[in-house]
Amino acid sequence: MPKIIIIRGAAGVGKTVVSKNVAKVLKGKYVSMDKIVDNKKNKLYKDKEKGMISQKSFLKANKLLLTKFNKEIKDGKILIIDGCFYWKSQIMNFKKRFGQDLLVFTLKASLKTCIRRDNKRKKPIGKDAIGAVYNASTKFDCGILIDTNKRNVYGVVGEILKSILI
Protein backbone atom coordinates (compact mmCIF):
# COMPACT_ATOMS: atom_id res chain seq x y z
CA MET A 1 0.00 0.00 0.00
CA PRO A 2 1.46 3.39 -0.96
CA LYS A 3 2.14 6.06 1.68
CA ILE A 4 1.43 8.91 -0.74
CA ILE A 5 -1.17 8.98 -3.51
CA ILE A 6 -1.14 11.95 -5.86
CA ILE A 7 -4.28 12.59 -7.88
CA ARG A 8 -3.40 15.19 -10.48
CA GLY A 9 -4.87 16.79 -13.57
CA ALA A 10 -6.46 19.91 -14.96
CA ALA A 11 -8.92 22.07 -13.03
CA GLY A 12 -12.40 20.65 -13.55
CA VAL A 13 -11.23 17.10 -14.20
CA GLY A 14 -12.70 15.82 -10.90
CA LYS A 15 -9.62 15.61 -8.66
CA THR A 16 -11.11 16.95 -5.47
CA VAL A 17 -14.26 14.87 -5.30
CA VAL A 18 -12.34 11.74 -6.38
CA SER A 19 -9.51 12.39 -3.89
CA LYS A 20 -11.90 12.92 -0.99
CA ASN A 21 -13.74 9.69 -1.82
CA VAL A 22 -10.50 7.70 -2.12
CA ALA A 23 -9.34 9.11 1.23
CA LYS A 24 -12.64 8.13 2.82
CA VAL A 25 -12.52 4.55 1.54
CA LEU A 26 -8.84 4.06 2.47
CA LYS A 27 -9.23 5.91 5.78
CA GLY A 28 -6.45 8.18 4.58
CA LYS A 29 -5.81 11.87 4.98
CA TYR A 30 -7.03 14.13 2.17
CA VAL A 31 -4.67 17.02 1.42
CA SER A 32 -5.27 19.87 -1.02
CA MET A 33 -2.05 21.15 -2.57
CA ASP A 34 -4.00 24.25 -3.68
CA LYS A 35 -4.73 25.16 -0.05
CA ILE A 36 -1.04 25.01 0.80
CA VAL A 37 -0.03 27.06 -2.24
CA ASP A 38 -2.89 29.57 -1.88
CA ASN A 39 -2.35 30.09 1.87
CA LYS A 40 -1.30 33.74 2.05
CA LYS A 41 1.02 33.12 4.99
CA ASN A 42 3.11 30.70 2.87
CA LYS A 43 3.67 33.41 0.20
CA LEU A 44 4.14 30.80 -2.53
CA TYR A 45 1.88 32.36 -5.15
CA LYS A 46 4.12 35.42 -5.60
CA ASP A 47 7.10 33.75 -7.32
CA LYS A 48 6.21 33.25 -11.01
CA GLU A 49 7.74 31.21 -13.80
CA LYS A 50 6.34 31.22 -17.33
CA GLY A 51 3.31 33.13 -16.02
CA MET A 52 2.49 30.47 -13.42
CA ILE A 53 3.44 29.79 -9.83
CA SER A 54 7.09 28.72 -9.98
CA GLN A 55 8.57 25.26 -9.62
CA LYS A 56 10.54 26.61 -6.65
CA SER A 57 7.29 27.58 -4.91
CA PHE A 58 5.76 24.15 -5.53
CA LEU A 59 8.86 22.44 -4.17
CA LYS A 60 8.50 24.60 -1.05
CA ALA A 61 4.83 23.52 -0.92
CA ASN A 62 5.95 19.87 -0.96
CA LYS A 63 8.23 20.56 2.01
CA LEU A 64 5.47 22.38 3.91
CA LEU A 65 3.04 19.54 3.23
CA LEU A 66 5.44 16.83 4.36
CA THR A 67 6.39 18.80 7.48
CA LYS A 68 2.73 19.39 8.37
CA PHE A 69 1.72 15.75 7.85
CA ASN A 70 4.93 14.08 9.04
CA LYS A 71 3.22 12.50 12.06
CA GLU A 72 0.47 10.99 9.91
CA ILE A 73 3.04 9.53 7.52
CA LYS A 74 5.10 8.08 10.38
CA ASP A 75 1.92 6.60 11.88
CA GLY A 76 1.22 4.80 8.59
CA LYS A 77 -1.62 7.01 7.43
CA ILE A 78 -1.95 7.29 3.67
CA LEU A 79 -1.91 10.84 2.28
CA ILE A 80 -4.11 11.46 -0.76
CA ILE A 81 -2.88 14.68 -2.33
CA ASP A 82 -5.10 16.54 -4.80
CA GLY A 83 -3.44 19.04 -7.12
CA CYS A 84 -2.77 20.06 -10.70
CA PHE A 85 0.94 19.22 -10.42
CA TYR A 86 1.79 21.04 -13.63
CA TRP A 87 5.51 20.97 -12.84
CA LYS A 88 6.99 17.49 -13.26
CA SER A 89 9.78 18.46 -10.84
CA GLN A 90 7.22 18.59 -8.05
CA ILE A 91 6.19 14.98 -8.65
CA MET A 92 9.82 13.87 -9.03
CA ASN A 93 10.56 15.48 -5.66
CA PHE A 94 7.95 13.20 -4.05
CA LYS A 95 9.24 10.23 -6.10
CA LYS A 96 12.80 10.82 -4.86
CA ARG A 97 11.62 10.83 -1.27
CA PHE A 98 9.02 8.03 -1.35
CA GLY A 99 10.01 5.80 -4.30
CA GLN A 100 7.72 2.77 -4.44
CA ASP A 101 5.60 4.25 -1.63
CA LEU A 102 4.29 6.89 -4.06
CA LEU A 103 1.49 6.27 -6.53
CA VAL A 104 0.43 8.90 -9.07
CA PHE A 105 -2.84 9.07 -10.99
CA THR A 106 -3.40 11.55 -13.79
CA LEU A 107 -7.06 12.29 -14.41
CA LYS A 108 -7.82 13.41 -17.94
CA ALA A 109 -10.79 15.09 -19.59
CA SER A 110 -11.30 17.38 -22.55
CA LEU A 111 -11.02 21.14 -22.07
CA LYS A 112 -14.71 21.39 -22.95
CA THR A 113 -15.59 18.94 -20.15
CA CYS A 114 -13.42 20.82 -17.64
CA ILE A 115 -15.08 24.16 -18.52
CA ARG A 116 -18.55 22.60 -18.27
CA ARG A 117 -17.74 21.13 -14.85
CA ASP A 118 -16.26 24.43 -13.66
CA ASN A 119 -19.50 26.21 -14.61
CA LYS A 120 -21.36 23.90 -12.20
CA ARG A 121 -19.21 24.86 -9.20
CA LYS A 122 -20.49 27.16 -6.48
CA LYS A 123 -17.58 29.46 -7.27
CA PRO A 124 -16.39 28.86 -10.85
CA ILE A 125 -12.81 29.85 -11.52
CA GLY A 126 -13.59 30.86 -15.10
CA LYS A 127 -12.92 29.76 -18.65
CA ASP A 128 -9.56 31.58 -18.97
CA ALA A 129 -8.17 30.15 -15.72
CA ILE A 130 -9.42 26.66 -16.62
CA GLY A 131 -7.71 26.97 -20.02
CA ALA A 132 -4.40 28.12 -18.54
CA VAL A 133 -4.29 25.35 -15.95
CA TYR A 134 -5.43 22.82 -18.54
CA ASN A 135 -2.58 23.77 -20.88
CA ALA A 136 -0.01 23.59 -18.08
CA SER A 137 -1.20 20.36 -16.47
CA THR A 138 -1.63 18.39 -19.72
CA LYS A 139 1.92 18.99 -20.99
CA PHE A 140 2.97 15.61 -19.58
CA ASP A 141 1.39 12.41 -18.33
CA CYS A 142 2.53 10.70 -15.19
CA GLY A 143 1.54 7.52 -13.41
CA ILE A 144 -1.74 5.78 -14.15
CA LEU A 145 -3.96 7.65 -16.62
CA ILE A 146 -7.72 7.72 -16.10
CA ASP A 147 -10.14 9.32 -18.56
CA THR A 148 -12.95 11.02 -16.61
CA ASN A 149 -14.85 12.44 -19.62
CA LYS A 150 -17.76 10.01 -19.52
CA ARG A 151 -17.27 8.45 -16.10
CA ASN A 152 -18.91 9.26 -12.84
CA VAL A 153 -17.02 9.72 -9.60
CA TYR A 154 -17.66 6.16 -8.44
CA GLY A 155 -16.23 4.70 -11.64
CA VAL A 156 -13.04 6.73 -11.30
CA VAL A 157 -12.70 5.96 -7.57
CA GLY A 158 -13.25 2.27 -8.33
CA GLU A 159 -10.50 2.27 -10.94
CA ILE A 160 -8.08 3.95 -8.52
CA LEU A 161 -8.90 1.52 -5.73
CA LYS A 162 -8.50 -1.44 -8.07
CA SER A 163 -5.04 -0.16 -9.07
CA ILE A 164 -4.01 0.34 -5.43
CA LEU A 165 -5.31 -2.93 -4.07
CA ILE A 166 -3.85 -5.21 -6.77
Residue 150 sits in a domain whose CATH number is: 3.40.50.300
* pLDDT for 145 beyond 90: yes
**Enclosing domain of residue 94:** 4-165
pLDDT of residue 135: 94
In the chain, the number of structural domains is 1
pLDDT of residue 2: 85
Q: What is the pLDDT of residues 55-101, one digit of tens each?
A: 999 999 999 999 999 999 999 999 999 999 999 999 999 999 999 99
Question: Is residue 130 packed enough to be buried (19+ CB in 10 Å), middle (13-18) or exposed (0-12)?
Answer: buried
Phi, psi (degrees; rounded to nearest 5) at 61: -65, -40
Nearest CA to 58 out of 85, 21, 39 is that of 85
Sign of CA dihedral 116, 122, 125, 128: positive
Report the chain's mean pLDDT, rounded to a whole number: 94
* pLDDT for 166 beyond 80: no
